[in-house]
């Protein structure tokens, strides 16, 4: 089964993100707005158990922290993705680096981790430029406390659901 590790923002942010996602993200119905901490992978039950134990250890010492979305941005020309960007990414990168150790060591990725919340993808270049031009003028100021990690699993119908949550205890 495919599993991934993510942060779920509060409902207010999810609703705002979904107002864009329902028009610009073909995966809108399959997965709720999230910040990927570790990309999806096919895990066995044993790998899921090892990952869960590791995440329990990581979150036992992790204190909640504040983050802030402050703009829309894009990965163009590398990828036709529009996302909500963070003002400061270092706390999220540090969390990612801690998660991706031990049984979740993540080597061989062709790119560096860049935390974000996708609001549009799989667009042509012209559509991406039009949408991004309009979003660049949209004020974004959402702060929230990151206080848990979630393991999401892809169900047989293609939808992603929370399998287990790991609240921060540090």
> pLDDT by residue (tens digit) across 114-127?
999 999 999 999 99
pTM for this entry = 0.94
**116 catalytic per annotation:** yes
- Spot the catalytic one: 54, 57, 96, 116: 116
- Non-local (6+) Cβ contacts of 142 within 8 A are 9, 12, 13, 16, 68, 69, 84
Whether 107 shows a pLDDT value over 80: the answer reads no
**3 state SS of 1:** coil
For 60, the domain range is 2-167
Q: What is the CATH number of the domain that holds 133?
A: 3.90.1140.10
Q: What is the mean pLDDT of residues 36-61?
A: 96
Domain tally, the chain:
1
Considering the candidates 34, 54, 96, 150, report the single residue annotated as catalytic. 34
pLDDT tens, position by position, 50-80: 999 999 999 999 999 999 999 999 998 888 9
Predicted pLDDT of residue 136: 86
Average pLDDT value for residue range 82-94: 97
């Amino acid at each position: 089964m495919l599993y991934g590790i993510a942060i779920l923002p509060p409902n207010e942010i999810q609703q705002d993100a979904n107002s864009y996602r329902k028009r610009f993200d073909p995966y809108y119905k399959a997965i709720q707005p999230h910040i990927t901490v570790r990309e999806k992978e096919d895990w066995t039950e044993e790998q899921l158990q090892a990952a869960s134990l590791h995440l329990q250890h990581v979150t036992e010492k992790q204190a909640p922290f504040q983050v802030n979305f402050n703009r829309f941005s894009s990965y163009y020309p590398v990828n036709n993705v529009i996302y909500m960007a963070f003002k400061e990414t270092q706390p999220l990168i540090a969390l990612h680096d801690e998660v991706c150790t031990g049984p979740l060591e993540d080597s061989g990725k062709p790119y560096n981790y860049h935390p974000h919340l996708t609001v549009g993808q799989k667009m042509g270049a012209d559509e991406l430029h039009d949408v991004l031009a309009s979003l660049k003028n949209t004020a974004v100021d959402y702060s929230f406390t990151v206080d848990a990690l979630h393991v999401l699993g892809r169900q047989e119908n293609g939808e992603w659901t929370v399998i287990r949550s790991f609240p921060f205890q540090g």
